[in-house]
Amino acid sequence: MRVLALARYRFWTTLRSAGPILGLAFGPAFAGAAFETLLSKWFPPDPSMFSAQAAFALIAWLAHCAILIGASLTFGSVKASRTDLTSAMSDLIDSTPIEPRVRFIGEMLGVLGTTLMIHLCCLPGLAITAALSPHPTVMFVCIEAVLIPMIALSSASAAWRRLAPPTRWGSTRAARSGLVFVILVSIIVLSTRNVATFRDAAGGFLSSPSMRKWQLVAASFDNPFLLFVLLGILYIGYMTFFYIAGTRDRAALGEIA
């Protein structure tokens, strides 16, 4: 119950300051829905417009996903200094005796709930974009299936940043961990694909996105199962690192009680 109470506290305190982020996240969803609606209303069906329509819908969804992941990371940077609990800027939760494990999970769930709430508010616009685009629904379902775990990972990173001891380079924690994550994902992708086939398939998909061309991109991987396993290991490793780093070295003030 302490985890749920802390998660609710972090959810409401974060949501109160998330207005600008909500507006930013709603931008791609609104733009995609407006573009698709006006295009289908004012212009007759034209196969030459399908490519631009498909590309715009995909860009709107991916831009929204990128904003959400960045937002959850931003929520981890909004923290008060814990060096002086009497300071007016200190987070009230720092004065309560909470176990490090409970504190980390509560912080993570609170940030995750805030980010998902923003996503839920933007979902109607995204649904209109998906319904009116030439892409099949399964493509956007797959994007959602990847987005939710990535938001959970970025929420764990936000909780780690809130609870980790302050250091000289502490403000760059998210950038450094994110850069390493991207490098490791790139290495995994490069080691499990056919370079020439992937280059041609990816170029065709980026120039004119479609489900058939995406299937060609997926077929360019020599061992999809190995790719899935390696990415799963990387994901679990990062989650484990955030948990351990966020609950050690007196990262939660409950240890001093």
Q: Residues 111-128: what's their mean pLDDT?
A: 92
The span from the CA of 85 to the CA of 78, in Å, is: 16
Distances (CA, A) of 134 to 51, 53, 58, 111: 8, 7, 10, 34
What is the pLDDT, as a whole number, of residue 94? 64
The per-residue pLDDT of the chain, averaged, comes to: 80
> Which bin fits 173, alpha (ψ -120 to 50), beta or left (φ > 0)?
alpha
CA distance 97 to 94: 8
Over the stretch 201-240, which tens digit does the pLDDT of each residue have? 777 777 777 777 777 877 777 778 888 999 999 999 999 9
Taking residues 152-157, report their average pLDDT: 92
Question: Phi, psi at residue 96, to the nearest 5°?
Answer: -100, 140
Residue 44 confidence (pLDDT): 59
Q: Note the pLDDT of residue 11.
A: 87
- Give every CB contact of residue 3 below 8 A, 6+ residues apart in sequence: 102, 105, 106, 109
118: Cβ contacts below 8 Å, ≥ 6 apart:
18, 21, 22, 25, 68, 71
Q: Which of 24-28, 40-44, 195-199, 232-236 has the highest mean pLDDT?
A: 232-236
Mean per-residue pLDDT, 16-37: 86
Count of CB atoms situated within 10 Å of the CB of 182: 10
Assess whether pLDDT exceeds 70 at residue 123. Answer: yes
pLDDT at 229: 92
Nearest to 208 by CA among 39, 54, 63, 62: 54
Would you say 157 and 174 are in contact if contact means Cβ atoms under 8 Å apart?
Answer: yes
pLDDT at 250: 52
Q: What is the pLDDT of residue 65?
A: 93
State percent of the chain over pLDDT 90.
Answer: 23
Higher pLDDT among residues 196 and 152, named by residue? 152
User: Does residue 246 surpass a pLDDT of 90?
Assistant: no
pLDDT at 13: 85
Lowest mean pLDDT among 12-26, 83-97, 102-116, 204-218: 83-97
pLDDT for 59-97, tens place per residue? 899 999 999 998 888 887 654 434 444 444 456 666 667
Q: Return d(Cα 137, Cα 139) in angstroms, integer.
A: 5
Q: What is the 3-state secondary structure (H, E, C) of 83-111?
A: CCCCCCCCCHHHHCCCCHHHHHHHHHHHH
Buried b (16+ CB within 10 A) or exposed e, 204-243: bbeeebbeebbebbeebbeeeeebeebeeeebeebbeebb
What band does 150 get if pLDDT is binned at 50, 70 and 90?
very high
Q: Is the pLDDT of residue 43 over 80?
A: no
pLDDT on residue 58: 87
pLDDT of residue 77: 65
Q: Look at residue 31 in the predicted model and tell me its pLDDT.
A: 87
pLDDT at 113 (0 to 100): 92
Q: How far apart are CA 18 and CA 68, in angstroms?
A: 11
Whole-structure pTM over 0.85, yes or no? no
